[in-house]
Structure 1
C-alpha cells in the first residue's frame, strides 16, 4: 500500500518521457535508465498499471501523432449542430445525462439542498464525490484524502447546501468509472451541475469527444460555432466540476502541448495514458496469443 503513490509517480514519469521522446522511439532500456529502474521492474510495473507494455503504449499515443491530427483538422468531434442538445450523450460505455441547476438555485447557493459526499480511492488518487438527489454534482481529485479540505471545497461551491458526509456512498459509481470499455447496466449516470449558459454549453460539448481522442481548444470553439472564443472556451473547460466523466482532460493545445488541467498536468497525463492503454488492450482482444512480458535489451516488448 505504501508503494502505491510512488508507483503512480513512476508511471506518470514514464508516460511523460514516452510522449516527449516518441519521435525517437525510445527503447525499454532507455526508459528504465531514465527512471532509475531495472528493465524487468519497469516492464512489470507499467504492464500491471496499464494492462499493456510500454512499447504497445508508445504505439498508441505520441506527441507527433497528436500534432499531426490537430494540424490536419482531424474530425474528432461530431458536427456542431449535434453539440449542446438536451438529453443523453454517450461517453465510452456509460450514458451520461447533464442537468443544469436553475439560475435561482445557483444564486441561492444550494439553499436547503441535501448534498451527500464521500472520499473514495481511485487508480488516480483520492476522489471527492458529491451528489444531490438529482445527480452527481462534483468529482474532484484530491492530493490527500483530507475530509476537512473536501468539506471546504463543497462549502465554497454550495455555501447554503446541507452537507452530509456518507463514507463509501459513491463506491459503486467509481467501480463503473474506470472500466470504460466494459459492459454497462444500461442505467444512465446523471450529472447535476451549475454554471453559466456558456459553461454548460462547453461541458455538453466535452461529453461528445470520443474516448481516447484529443481535441484542441480552437477546435472545440469552432465546433461550438464560436471560432474566436478559444480563450473563453479554455476558461470554461478549466471550470469543469466533474473530473473524468466530463472529459476536459482530452482538450490540449493546437501545438500538441498538454495545456493546463484543473487537477494538475501529471493527473492529465495519467488519464490520457490510461485511455490509450485501454484502447490498445481492446484492440488486442482478438489475439489468441497471450502477450509475453519478457524484455529485450534493444527495444521495448
Structure 2
C-alpha cells in the first residue's frame, strides 16, 4: 500500500564503480555471491581470474589483484577459472537484460518457453537463472511490471476499465488479482484514494520517539516515526481511517519492542505493496542480520542488479515499515551513514543498539 516508483527497465551488466581492494578481498574471503559480477579477482601465482564466490582455496593476499570485469582481466593476461566460470556471470546478466526488455515490450503475457528461446537458454535453466538474478520468476516479474503500468494508467483521467486494458490486461479479473497483490486494494479503490479500504491506526511511544502504527485487515501497512493520523489520511484520503482495535494494539506493542529487540516482530503480518524491484530490495533488507550493515551497492548486487545502486537507494527510501524492514542497516559504500527517512540520529541509535546485542 506504499507509494511506488517506476520499475527500472533494464538490468545493467556491471556496476559503475567497484569496491576498494580491502572490500574486494573481504568479499573473496566470505565467498560473497552478492558481489559476483561486480568485480573479479586475479591470482598472479596461477594466472587465472575468479568471481568472488569461487569455491577454490584462497590464494595469498599478496598474489591477489582486482579488476572491474573479465574483459579487463583478459586484457591484463589472465585466463578464466574453470571452476567458477566467471565469464558466465556477464553472459547470464545479458540474457536477463534481454528478457526484461522483451517482457516490457510485450503487449500480452509471454510463456517461459518463448522468453527462454529468445535469449538462447533452455526453459528450466533460464527459470532458475532469472530468479537468481532478480529474486523473482519471469512470470512474477512480468506481473509486477504490468501492475505498475496499471497503477500509472489509473492515475490518468478515464475509467477503470480503460486503464485495465491500457495496461495490457485481456480481462479485468486478472487485473484485480494483480492489484490485490501489488497495490494492496482493488483498481477502483486505488484510483479513488483508498475508498472502501479500512485502515486502523494509533500513535505509540518508543525509546526513539513516537511511532505511527497502521494496518489493514491483512497486516501492517505503515510504521513510521514522528507521523500521525494526518500523514495517513494524506496517503489514502478516501480510505476508512479508524482508531486502533485490540488486535492493532497488540501489534503496536510488538512494533515498539522491535526498536530495542530486532527479533521481536519477525512474524508480524504485513500488507505493503511495491514493484517487483522494490519487493526484491525489501527482501534483501530483511535478510541482513541484526548488527550488520550492507552498502547500497551490495543490496543492488544481491538482487542481481549491480548497476541499479541509485534505484536500490530509492527503494530503501520508499520503505513503509520502519524497523520491521530494516533499511537502517544500509550505508554508503564508504561506510558513512547515507540517508534515513526518519532521521540519521535514529539510524545511528538503531545500529548502535543492534551492535551491542
What TM-score does the superposition give when structure 2 sets the normalisation length? 0.47
> Does residue 315 of structure 2 align to residue 241 of structure 1?
no
Does 220-229 or 108-117 show the bigger shift?
A: 108-117
- Are 1:209 and 2:288 counterparts? yes
- State how far apart, in whole Å, the 2-side matches of 1:182 and 1:202 are: 20
Give the match for residue 132 of structure 2: 81
The structural deviation recorded for 1:151 is: 1.9
How far did residue 168 of structure 1 move? 7.5
Alignment partners' CA distance in 2, 1:162 and 1:226: 38
The Cα of 1:140 is off from its aligned counterpart by: 0.4
Segments of structure 2 that go 5 or more residues without pairing to the other structure are: 1-20, 36-52, 54-130, 138-180
Q: Aligned match of 1:72 in 21, 26, 37?
A: 26
Does 1:223 pair with 2:302?
Answer: yes
Structural mapping, 1:85-234, within 5 Å: 100=182, 101=184, 104=187, 106-142=190-226, 150-166=228-244, 170-176=248-254, 177-178=257-258, 180=261, 188-234=267-313
Per the alignment, residue 269 of structure 1 pairs with: 348
SS in 1 for 2:270: strand
Deviation track 1:19-66 (CA, whole Å, cap 9, x = no partner) reads xxxxxxxxxxxxxxxxxxxxxxxxxxxxxxxxxxxxxxxxxxxxxxxx
Residue 183 of structure 1, CA deviation:
7.7
Question: Offset at 1:240?
Answer: 0.5
SS at match of 1:156: helix
Please report the TM-score for the alignment, with normalisation by the length of structure 1. Answer: 0.55
Q: Which has the higher contact order (CA 8 A, sep 6+)?
A: 1
Larger Rg: 1 or 2?
2
Per the alignment, in what secondary structure is the counterpart of residue 121 of structure 1?
strand
Matched, 1:255 2:306: no
Structure 2 CA distance, aligned partners of 1:71 and 1:168?
Answer: 51
Number of aligned positions between the proteins = 192
SS of residue paired to 1:138: strand
Distance 1:77 1:174 in 2: 34
Please, which runs of 5 or more residues in structure 1 have no aligned partner? 1-66, 87-98, 143-148, 280-301
CA–CA separation in structure 1 for the residues paired with 2:335 and 2:237:
38
C-alpha contact (below 8 Å) 2:214/2:223 kept by paired residues: yes
Q: SS at the partner of 1:243? A: coil
Taking structure 1 as reference, are residues 188 and 77 closer, same or farther at Cα in structure 2, changes over 3 Å only?
A: farther
